[in-house]
Structure 1
């Protein structure tokens, strides 16, 4: 096995052993463990998933983009932690380990043969990293490019604005793509990125998850109004929670924070079964909106075993060949966030929704009327200052000034967006690594400007 080890000066000042520590000291220790898991996962996933697509990411690039400007307090810890990249003799990535404490094993993310990485639980030193997902192949139609639809000066203006500060003083755009009439009008990338380089979708994965559920529903394997099976028996009131409730963020279950960060799953090595399934009710299912990762995780868990096992094949049928859905270390899909995808694959997902779930070859893969279902504010709505509505796994821009009322959107952390405008036959994709707590990227202003540009 080939190893590349990076040590820093901070390796000499690792967290002290845990004996007789105060709560504050334990919190600091846990933050270090999470930061190490975060670093191991992003180094592993960014590098392995790019190489799966025939592209390249270096550790230095991941440090500059994915591991800069992350949530506090991890941001202050993550850069100092030493890491080791382990490769198989043939050169493929095996694992990434990050040292965080003198008395504990390093946090390790394992790369899997068919793509993606998973993080081991805190304290796990060795494991069988043999998660295998069946490999599928499918010929994906080539994109049609119509770069004459926009004036050259207008293309330059849009590009400069997106990569500049017009839509956010500290926004960091990595890619954007404008699709009209199933043709690419404009597509640009920052250095280190390109058409084959995936990024983590963060909560855009929730819209992908809703689409996976839709595919299962079209096959007749899923009933949206059926119980999601949450709880410990038929007399458990959580049995009333349906898959529809889960997709609409209306389960009525408690979550510890708005947005339900689920750091123990994402970076701590806990499993979906451990952390997402058993939250108690605080409201009648269907009565209140509460944005929570747990609801999406349980919507996927509610699918039949065949549908869950076919998720990689489903992504190919969605015309997303450069997309990888990652799992926890026990093989449960983390489709609330942990998906890596390219800008073009996300644009294909948007186009599928413009076409009401019908593939370019005429094959219907989503139920008829599915797009109306996911883009309708049929459940309780979020409210708040942004004024965005919510459908089933997709945000709604139905009240955004200057934007057609039929517009719906996938949105994720650090500035991941797919905007679908059915009345204009337009899909807009923006990828970024915007800093946590910063200005962010004004996707509504960008959408308005793109629509105005296409009117000129």
Structure 2
């Protein structure tokens, strides 16, 4: 199946048909090109594995063609020019269950592999160079056969809604009203705990999971809240990096608290905007290898810097709690039966991005916050946790009207709300490619929008929220 080698010599480059300009690349450029191919293959393997296996877990289906058209189109450069043409193989167990997906990327290296480890933790991408046979398709995963398809009774039907409201939701799918070229896949609206609207793109439905991207950060903040509710942690606890000490605190990283990490204010260095974590997401490194060791360049609590690694450290801080109360048990309490928190190969939850969920499940997350942390008579989050996560009290992002709380974005900043028509208490989970969960406590409304928006396009969630709220009246 091997098709390509990226050798270091000009002769080898010529043998695979590369141009003279490609042959003239510097050694670093050749290494970067090779690395990009390895990342693209990992990206493709993980999306095919997670997209197909998690859908089948829920009793529905996704095809490779659908994932190529939606999740693998319009992604970041330079992977977008590479990823769709890479040969792949979906390896299944005798039961029909996905075992792993492997993707070719170089003649002289094993295929990139993403393996499915079961319904509770989904798929994990293996390190570059891992042998293709590491996932044994002859060994079935011992989980019960499940069928989670069908109507979810967690939310009562909200009954008939105004025509204008339904037209507002439809507009998000059929026009460029909320952003030129955006691609909506799902929208769900709750009012007073009742489902009053849901709509899906062709090929998607109530049981179809998508990657949440950074909406997972708000899920991570929710797990931290549950750990705090247990009485074992407070947000003022140190994240526990436990670096060098001499006399006093020694290494400045030892002063970072859970609150600093949730508020993106650890003061640690980030090498790229957003602290891109491609080596973790697509390269197969682990949270411990990649996220923990960045140096501090500002006093913790004084500078905002959006960073995936900060969320990952907040999660690591409560890792001992998660080991006894894993995410799938929390999801079960909320009836989020179609949601999977995936891990790296060492079992660390990648809760900065790698959760697969449905629009309706995410609506339940929002409803938990409308309920001030109560669910079916049980307190899952501390009293006023909603106010804590939606309070933009720490250092704030620059160049935006949005504020940032503790793992959730806010429609207001410390100096006020710039979003006309949206209440001050509204807050939101936001993720790449157009994932949004908007919670509006004063209106008792949750709005979920899922998408696969391509790089260079952006869904205007503020306008959509404003229009939905106005149409409900």
CA–CA distance in 1 between the matches of 2:124 and 2:74? Answer: 22
1:119 aligned residue (98, 119, 125): 125
Shift of the alpha carbon at 1:259? 0.5
| Contact 1:322-1:345 at 8 Å conserved across structures | yes
Equivalent residue runs for 1:68-87 within 5 Å? 68-87=73-92
| Contact 1:383-1:389 at 8 Å conserved across structures | no
CA–CA distance in 2 between the matches of 1:441 and 1:33? Answer: 30
The equivalent of 1:453 in structure 2 is: 471
Closer/same/farther in 2, CA of residues 221 and 51 from structure 1, 3 Å limit: same
Shift of the alpha carbon at 1:112? 1.1
CA–CA distance in 2 between the matches of 1:154 and 1:141? Answer: 23
Q: Residue deviations 1:347-399, cap 9 Å, x none?
A: 0000000110000x211100011101001112111121x31000000000022
The equivalent of 1:201 in structure 2 is: 212
The equivalent of 2:437 in structure 1 is: 418
Larger mean Cα displacement after TM superposition, 396-405 or 336-345: 396-405
Q: Residue deviations 1:242-296, cap 9 Å, x none?
A: 0010000000000111101100000000110000000000100000000000001
The equivalent of 1:17 in structure 2 is: 7
Closer/same/farther in 2, CA of residues 362 and 258 from structure 1, 3 Å limit: same
1:228 aligned residue (223, 233, 239): 239
CA–CA distance in 2 between the matches of 1:261 and 1:159? Answer: 34
How many residues are paired up?
Answer: 439
Any idea what SS the aligned residue of 1:229 has? coil
Closer/same/farther in 2, CA of residues 182 and 66 from structure 1, 3 Å limit: same
TM-align CA RMSD: 2.1
CA–CA distance in 2 between the matches of 1:77 and 1:156? Answer: 38
1:99 aligned residue (94, 100, 104): 104
Any idea what SS the aligned residue of 1:187 has? strand
| Contact 1:418-1:427 at 8 Å conserved across structures | yes
The equivalent of 1:160 in structure 2 is: 171
| Contact 2:93-2:140 at 8 Å conserved across structures | no
Any idea what SS the aligned residue of 2:115 has? strand
Structure 1 unaligned blocks of 5 or more = 1-6
CA–CA distance in 2 between the matches of 1:157 and 1:376? Answer: 29
Note if 1:145 corresponds to 2:138: no
Closer/same/farther in 2, CA of residues 401 and 436 from structure 1, 3 Å limit: same
1:312 aligned residue (321, 324, 328): 328
Structure 2 unaligned blocks of 5 or more = 11-25
| Contact 1:300-1:308 at 8 Å conserved across structures | no
Note if 1:273 corresponds to 2:288: yes
Any idea what SS the aligned residue of 2:85 has? coil
Q: Residue deviations 1:394-438, cap 9 Å, x none?
A: 000022222111110000000000000111000000000000122
The equivalent of 1:4 in structure 2 is: none
Note if 1:432 corresponds to 2:456: no
Q: Runs ≥4 in structure 1, deviation > 4 angstroms?
A: 18-21, 128-135
The equivalent of 1:287 in structure 2 is: 302
Note if 1:322 corresponds to 2:338: yes
1:240 aligned residue (251, 255, 264): 255
The equivalent of 1:33 in structure 2 is: 38
The equivalent of 2:21 in structure 1 is: none
Shift of the alpha carbon at 1:316? 1.8
1:217 aligned residue (216, 222, 228): 228
CA–CA distance in 2 between the matches of 1:143 and 1:280? Answer: 46
1:300 aligned residue (309, 315, 319): 315
